[in-house]
Chain A
Amino acid sequence: MSKWIGPVISCHEISKFYPVGDGLFALRDVDIGVEEGWFVAIMGPSGSGKSTLLNILGGIDRPSHGEVILKGRKFSRLSEDDLAIMRRTEIGMVFQFFNLLPELTAVENIGFPMRLAGYKDKEISERVQYLMNSVGLSDRQNHYPSELSGGEQQRVAICRALATRPSVVLADEPTGNLDSARSKEIMELFAKFNKEEKQTFIVATHDPSFLEYADLVLKLKDGEVVERSDKHGTLV
């Protein structure tokens, strides 16, 4: 498999405009380039545009202006179905409220994107097993989401996002609904997979604890990137 050279995901002059009232810019001229294996933290107050930026990077929402490029593929040239197919293998997403499918067990939830991507049963089984062991849920495999705690559900959601070994994992406030102990577990999991599987993580968060893992920290305010720094606070 050929290795991608250059930013794994980048966006150029991204703007998102909502024509409500006098008009509202949720994002304005955002430029980001993220290399493979980076851990990026997007910080900012509520309403600063973090979620909008993640949606656009995940191909879930379209920018009003600008371009997103994932491994050389321009999102503007892809249909909704093309983007969905791309997300199967290239993008994993983690949400604040987990968003697991309640009718599927933990194992089935994790294997779901793999089935969509056409993996064979054996591959799915092995990968799911590995991930569940990695997050310490090997004894909760056949439990439904309603039978799991919040922290366990989020760990299952992380496993689902990682199942197809996507190039980029986008996480929107992944610890926003957890207590500090569970939040630390989740952060450590992100760091573990970032290190072990060289996956790129882009995490939108209020939680300053994520900074210690971040290669790049973006601070957003009113839809604009107002600061770029490394985890030590050095401006880049």
Chain B
Amino acid sequence: MDFSKLAVTEIRRNPTRTRIAVIASALAAMIVILLRIIPEGYPLGIAMPERTYTGGDIVVFPAQTPLSSAEHSTLVLRDWQGSDWQSQILYYFPDIMNTGYLCKEASTGWRAMIPKDVLAAISDIPNIKSAYSYRALPCLITTDKAVVPAILRALDEQPAYPLEPYMEQPASFFSESSVIDREAIIPKQTKGLGDLKTGSTLYITIPEPKVVEFVSPNGSTSLHIGTDWEKAVEYSFAIKGKYSIQIGEEIDYEAWANSPDPQPPMIPLYWNRPEVLISSALFETIVQEMGASIDPTYLESFSWAFPTYQITLTVDSMSQMRETARLAREALGSDYGVYAVPEALYSTSSKGHVVMPPDLHKLFSGLIIGFSALVVAGNIYIIVVQQKRKIGLFRVVGATSKDILQYVLTMVAYVSLIGTCAGGLVGNLLYLFSLLGSDMEFGTWVSQALSDFGVIAGLSIAVSLGIGFAIAYWASRLPCSEVLSRE
């Protein structure tokens, strides 16, 4: 019937209201599309020092901290019974040492990871380029002046992200004879090690590692790695170089207070974790020597990647990292915590629990779309109020409540559609610039842009129609005597 045409004409006759509603829809669509730029792709520059040091883009820990506010399972708070040397989890979630960690009741809990189990679970996930077991042992470094507690860590000879930019001297990374020469790279920032010279000898005492079976809180048996300092052995290494990883800087308020300079002096912040790096092959040799008493079946179960409490994944396409992390999280289930490194860095809340950006993304998107729908509906409401007389006239000439519903809903849909299309177009064109900062392929961008647009347009129109329906229903119940009462 003509009601759709009449609705469109009516909308056009109210340019101010229509513009406000269209702009609200357009802005909502545009913002929702542009929100994708922020969380979806992590350009290489973001959290690069952390990625280098972690050895990849996504970290997997053997305990889940609930990542999503959409998690509905019963959660329990457990004490974290790990040690700093086992993984880098304390760097990302320092509070778990004091507060413990939240996990599902049935979760196994903190334990040594069996790499082959993890790899089998994630083997079908696209975009995972490689996996790396973080292997370390606690140690004590003896210098002329002190005994410094440290961590002896195995580093791949060809790590995912090169360490060279962070070395004190160029080309001081491991040489081909790193095993024979027992090369070690030491952290420059660790207190007590700064004075050690490159080329000098490093004396390290390493405790004997032990594998212990224990009963997890959920009743299953799992493995833990213990250390026996009674059977510690001293090793000596040649210092090949020093590294120092600056992760940021902060204002030196004390110096600034005494400084006439309006610009605040800055203090560089370094990744201050006392990790002495040796090559994987050398670490393997030491573990074989130190762990001679360990049951080979245990070592076999670790696929000789012993000990492992953290696995780091690298991805092919950075722009798909969040999605890859999500898939890994799904595949590994509640016994593991999976975090994209930039997410983990920026999402730790003050209480030590993780607030998941995707949820916020959805929440923001929902709020924005809901708000725009309210603006659309509000403006349509005003138009309808102004048109009460006309609606009464429609009723007088024979329009049913269904016809009035159609009339009002057409207005809502028309405004939402125009706004969403305009905003979607502009948003996607701006989103095109995100290609410059990521490794996303154009084809992927197109499919993402189209699917985004479809979802946003559908949602936006559906929400607007949902709210608009209330107005339409009200309008359809207006008494038709309205038209005559105003004669």
Contacts and interface: CB of A to CB of B under 8 A. Distances in A.
Contact of A99 (B398, B399, B481, B483): B483
Given A99-B393, A103-B10, A84 B400 contact: yes
Contacts of A95: 483-484, 487
Contacts of A61: 479, 481, 484
A44 interface: no
Contacts of B9: 103
B186 to A, nearest CB: 82
A96 interface: yes
Contacts of B286: none
Instruction: Give the contact-size bracket for chain A.
Output: 20 to 34
B142 to A, nearest CB: 92
Given A101-B6, A101-B390, A103-B6, A87 B484 contact: no
B401 A80 contact: yes
Nearest to A176: B487
B475 to A, nearest CB: 13
B1 interface: yes
A101 B390 CA distance: 8
B397 A160 contact: yes
B49 to A, nearest CB: 64
Contacts of A93: 396-397
Contacts of A55: 481, 484
Interface stretch (A6-14, A109-117, A209-217, A218-226): A109-117
B2 interface: yes
B384 to A, nearest CB: 15
Contacts of B343: none
B119 to A, nearest CB: 66
Interface in B454-487: 479-481, 483-484, 487
B403 interface: yes
Contacts of B182: none
Contacts of B487: 51, 95-97, 172-173
Interface string B346-373: 0000000000000000000000000000
A60 interface: yes
Given A51-B484, A84-B480, A113 B13 contact: no
A81 interface: yes
The main secondary structure of chain B at its interface with chain A is helix
A49 interface: no
Interface string A82-93: 001101110001
B153 interface: no
B395 interface: yes
Nearest to B401: A81
A145 interface: no
A160 B398 CA distance: 12
B393, B395, B484: residue with the most chain A Cβ atoms closer than 10 Å: B484
B400 A87 contact: no
B2 A112 contact: yes
A58 interface: yes
Contact of A85 (B1, B13, B390, B400): B400
Interface in B394-436: 395-403
Contacts of A58: 396
A125 B363 CA distance: 54
Interface string A186-198: 0000000000000
B396 A60 contact: yes
B227 to A, nearest CB: 83
A159 to B, nearest CB: 12
Contacts of A116: 1, 397-399, 403
Contacts of B399: 84, 116
A161 to B, nearest CB: 9
A172 B484 contact: yes
Interface of B: 1-2, 6, 9-10, 13, 389-390, 393, 395-403, 479-481, 483-484, 487
Given A96-B487, A112-B2, A115-B2, 10 more contacts: A51-B484, A61-B479, A81-B401, A93-B396, A93-B397, A95-B484, A95-B487, A103-B6, A113-B397, A172-B484
